[in-house]
Amino acid sequence: MSVIDLSTYELDDDHLELANLVRAFADEQVAPQAYEADRTKTLSIPLVHAMGELGLFGLPFPEEIGGQGGDYVALGLAIEALGRVDQSIAITLEAGVSLGAMPVFRFGTEAQKGELLPDLLAGRALAGFGLTEPEAGSDAGATRTTARLDDGEWVVDGAKQFITNSGTSITRFVTVTAVTGSRTGMDGAERPEISTIIVPNGTTGFEVGPAYDKVGWHASDTHPLTFTGARVPEANLLGERGRGFANFLGILDEGRIAIAALSTGAAEGCLEAAVDYAQTRQVFGERLGSRQAIQFMLARMQLRVHTARLAWLHAARLRDAGRPFGTEAALAKLTASDAAMDNARDATQIFGGNGFMNEYPVARHYRDSKILEVGEGTTEVQLLLIARALGLADGGAR
């Protein structure tokens, strides 16, 4: 049961129609399978294909390459709608767009775009982005995966971890960051040259490890990857050599908007479930929702949803207008991930013992929401970025 009127957020008719369409899809097709998918830790490929048929994977891409000609507000609304009922499905869409297709669209050659994007934008294929390693992620200098040229081929060696959409039956490739040499900076110091390489699934020497046993996001596909002399053509370099990590940082800002939208959806899902429970649960002969303490808790939950939605919509609108949005994306991600975690905790408290049972969606949100404070940059990273924007983190003056 929706408790918030989206029409009050100054959405145009197309955006509002899309939001209502995806919310109906989420309620009718995603929600009924969410508990069983979580219990069996299974990503529904037919559901991925159904999202593709709705055009969700192609939302922010131009029509001439098979996209829907939409924008990041549209993508955020779709991810938010899915996140209300199943965060695993929402992150599958988010990662499929932000980490799978977007790097190819932004930095790929025409040949790479023509070969890879049609199936990705149609939801017929998925792709992963291999950045994180056991000792590296945001710390690019600690990257240990390497790629060297040998007789017209890149030879990739190393390991990645926590890679989304990397091991499904429709995963086509992963894009990996790797050290391809070194460069001398303006200060004279040697630094690793980080590039991105496309490695198709099935490449000899490329192994997808067993799926992780995670606290949450059980139906999201996540694996460790190893590369042992994996050879791919030299043409599989994605973007300019040495610009791999810098290019990824731009993608990451957009990803933070998408994670903020997902977090907002999760926070709203918790609010909806808690309001419904408070209105129907009888305690000592009266509705649970008649108690002022519960009313205040629900009011604060709605405040968090409202604030989180305003934050990610603002960042998305700046992005779509071609204006700087990095700080606003960090603010949105921080605000919304806090909202998701706080609302999950409060909703579980309202449900009491039932909130500890996995058959109730608030229990799943409680487990799922913690990663929202970690993925796409931790809470502490967002605080650092915001502090830098204030001229504080590096000791400078505004």
Instruction: State yes or no: pLDDT of 398 exceeds 60.
Output: no
Q: Which of 280-284, 378-382, 393-397 has the lowest average pLDDT?
A: 393-397
Residue 58 binned pLDDT confidence (cut-offs 50, 70, 90): very high
Instruction: State yes or no: pLDDT of 66 exceeds 80.
Output: yes
Boundaries of CATH 2.40.110.10 in the chain?
127-243
Q: Report how far apart, in Å, the C-alpha atoms of 194 and of each of 18, 143, 145, 355 are.
A: 38, 8, 10, 45
Better pLDDT: 230 or 182: 230
- Concerning whether 110 is annotated as a catalytic residue, the answer is no
Tell me, what's the pLDDT at 396? 45
Q: Could you tell me which residues come within 8 angstroms of residue 357 by beta carbon, excluding any fewer than 6 positions away?
A: 363
344 in Cβ contact with 373 (< 8 Å): no
Nearest to 205 by CA among 197, 214, 213, 195: 197
- Contacts of 1-9 with CB under 8 Å at 24 or more apart are 1/272, 1/275, 1/276, 2/272, 3/268, 3/271, 3/272, 3/275, 3/302, 4/268, 4/271, 4/302, 4/305, 4/306, 9/309, 9/310, 9/313
53, 268, 376, 380: the active-site residue: 376
Boundaries of CATH 1.10.540.10 in the chain?
6-125
| Centroid of chain to Cα 349 | 27
Distance CA 70, CA 58 (A): 8
Pairing, β 206-208 against β 146-150? unpaired
Kindly state the average pLDDT of the residues 29-33.
97
Q: Which fold has domain 127-243?
A: Butyryl-CoA Dehydrogenase, subunit A; domain 2 (2.40.110)
Q: At 247, list the tokens.
A: 């290019």
Residues in the chain: 398
332 in Cβ contact with 256 (< 8 Å): yes
Q: Which CATH superfamily is domain 6-125 in?
A: Acyl-CoA dehydrogenase/oxidase, N-terminal domain (1.10.540.10)
**Tens of pLDDT, residues 88-132:** 999 999 999 999 999 999 999 999 999 999 999 999 999 999 999
Kindly state the average pLDDT of the residues 247-253.
85
Residue 138 binned pLDDT confidence (cut-offs 50, 70, 90): low
Tell me, what's the pLDDT at 186? 74
Instruction: State yes or no: pLDDT of 397 exceeds 50.
Output: no
**Burial of 10 by CB count in 10 Å (0-12 exposed, 13-18 middle, 19+ buried)?**
exposed
Kindly state the average pLDDT of the residues 22-44.
97
Kindly state the average pLDDT of the residues 163-173.
98
Kindly state the average pLDDT of the residues 303-325.
98
Instruction: State yes or no: pLDDT of 343 exceeds 60.
Output: yes
* CATH architecture of the region 246-389: Up-down Bundle (1.20)
Helix axes 13-25, 72-83, angle to 10 degrees: 30
- Placement of tokens 């990705």 in the chain: 120
Q: Which residues pair with 312 in a beta bridge?
A: none
Kindly state the average pLDDT of the residues 266-281.
96
Q: Which of 220-224, 247-251, 366-370 has the lowest average pLDDT?
A: 247-251
- First-to-last alpha carbon distance for the chain, in angstroms, is 46
Mean pLDDT of the chain, nearest integer: 94
Instruction: State yes or no: pLDDT of 188 exceeds 90.
Output: no
Helix axes 292-320, 72-83, angle to 10 degrees: 150
| Centroid of chain to Cα 284 | 43
Q: At 386, list the tokens.
A: 């915001």
Boundaries of CATH 1.20.140.10 in the chain?
246-389
